Structure 1
Amino acid sequence: MDHSHHNHDVLSQAVTHSPADHTTGHGSGSNGHDGHMMMMQMTFYFGYKNVELLFAGLIINTPGEMVGACIGVFLLAAFYEGLKIGREVLLRRNQISVRYNSMPVPGTDGTVLMETHKTVGQRMLSLAHLLQTILHIIQVVISYFLMLVFMTYNGYLCIAVALGAGVGYFLFSWKKAVVVDITEHCH
């Protein structure tokens, strides 16, 4: 079977669109609206027409809708930062056991330094751990929502994510000691 002929037919059915219309092309797909099939934008752009946001049917078409979406995304990103700090505060309040482990580490000048690690434990079958688990699930879902918003490649929405995360960090993390969390999602 000659696949090059089939691929040519598929490519000839693709419709190019103007820079003002960043997310739709004409097609017969059932996932579209008004006879249009939604296509994912693959480069950054600034626009407000036909921007599909997270869910089918949640489509931005006016400047007012874009402003509202940016405010919502900004607040979600700020809430995400607050949630991370809130989980740390709850964990510190519900500490059950604290263990310090020290181990020798060679220094740069040949001396031996002692490195101390703090291990915090809590019971697995406890209300505190159940609450931490639920908050962790919420945190993961929000982080993926923010990632998907950024993946719209819409400049306005990307800026809203970045500013919301920055403002959230500024508001909630100012008392926190800065520690890099290697398990943090999507950052």
Structure 2
Amino acid sequence: MNILDPHSDHVHPTMVPAISDPHGDHTTSPDMGHGDHMMMMQMTFYFGYKNVELLFAGLVINTPGEMVGACIGVFLLAVFYEGLKIGREFLLRRNQVNVRYNSMPVPGADGTVLMETHKTVGQRMLSLAHFLQTFLHIIQVVVSYFLMLVFMTYNGYLCIAVAAGAGLGYFLFSWKKAVVVDITEHCH
């Protein structure tokens, strides 16, 4: 039985005190082996450039120049994401097939019955256009999660880069957008 959890014979990983390594850039828990290192994740917004781990274990920002480069890359990724959304919508409209018009009875104000016409648009499942849309959808999902994870670093510079890139991308690509409600959005 341990003192951190009197009802259990094991230590909860979230309750284990962290021990700094001699270099001061990693922390380990007492139950981890010597080769296991784990960086502490920042849980509040901050503005800094030292030891900022970005998406991958080997991608660590340590200098102001690296932070500027990372911000530019994240900014461009967010612009690309907005462009990708609009590009997919454009391709979908261009490749629409099977247009059908359906009429439905709608009650009028004076008790009469009016006929309202609706346009139904479909696309073939086994078509090059649908395979392209599927591939672009996968890229869109991956990029959207990358941007979300970058924002979750809580680094103020990177968060501003995500927001500014999304804003510029929307400004550049969405001004001709015909759809008011975006059903292809993943992270908003």
TM above 0.5, yes or no, is: yes
Q: Which structure has the highest helix share of the two?
A: 1
CA displacement 1:119-154 (0-9 Å, x = unmatched)? 321110111100000000000000000000000010
The 3 A distance-change label for structure 1 pair 86 and 11 is closer
Stretches of structure 2 that go unaligned for 5 or more consecutive residues are none
Q: Which residue of 2 aligns with 1:164?
A: 165
Tell which structure's C-alpha radius of gyration is larger: 2
1:149 corresponds to: 150
**Kept in 2: contact 1:31–1:38 (CA 8 A):** no
**Paired residue secondary structure (1:120):** strand
1:128 lines up with 2:129 in the alignment: yes
Q: Structure 1: give runs of 5+ residues left out of the alignment.
A: none
Post-superposition offset of 1:115: 7.1
TM-score of the pair, normalised by structure 2: 0.78
Matched residues, number: 176
Maintained 8 Å contact 2:106/2:113: yes
Matched, 1:59 2:34: no
| Deviation (angstroms), 1:12 | 7.1
Separation in structure 1 between the aligned mates of residue 131 and residue 170 of structure 2, nearest angstrom: 25
Deviations 1:7-59 (A, max 9, x none): 59x8573259xxxx9xx553265453xxxx31111111111000000001100
Q: Residue 50 and residue 124 in structure 1: after superposition, are their counterparts in 2 closer, same or farther (change >3 A)?
A: same
Determine the C-alpha separation between the residues in 2 that align with 1:163 and 1:112: 51
SS in 1 for 2:121: strand
The two structures, once aligned, show a CA RMSD in angstroms of 3.2
User: How far, CA to CA, are the matches of 1:103 and 1:31 in structure 2?
Assistant: 65
Inter-partner Cα distance in structure 2 for 1:113 and 1:43: 58
Deviations 1:89-111 (A, max 9, x none): 1111111122344656789xx99
Code of the aligned partner of 1:121: G
Partner of 1:14: 18
How does 1:29-40 map onto structure 2 within 5 Å?
A: 30-32=35-37, 37-40=38-41
- The letter of the residue matching 1:126 is S
Please report how far the alpha carbon of residue 177 of structure 1 lies from its aligned counterpart in structure 2 after TM superposition: 2.3
Using the size of structure 1 for normalisation, the TM-score is 0.79
What SS does the corresponding residue of 2:50 show, helix, strand or coil?
A: coil
User: Contact 2:100 / 2:119 at 8 angstroms: preserved in 1?
Assistant: yes
Sequence identity percentage = 83
CA gap of 1:115–1:127, structure 2 versus 1, over 3 A, is same
2 CA distance for matches of 1:174 and 1:86?
A: 13
- 1:60-139 to 2 correspondences below 5 Å: 60-101=61-102, 103=104, 118-139=119-140
Q: Give distance in 2, aligned partners of 1:47 and 1:111.
A: 68
Post-superposition shift, 1:176?
1.1
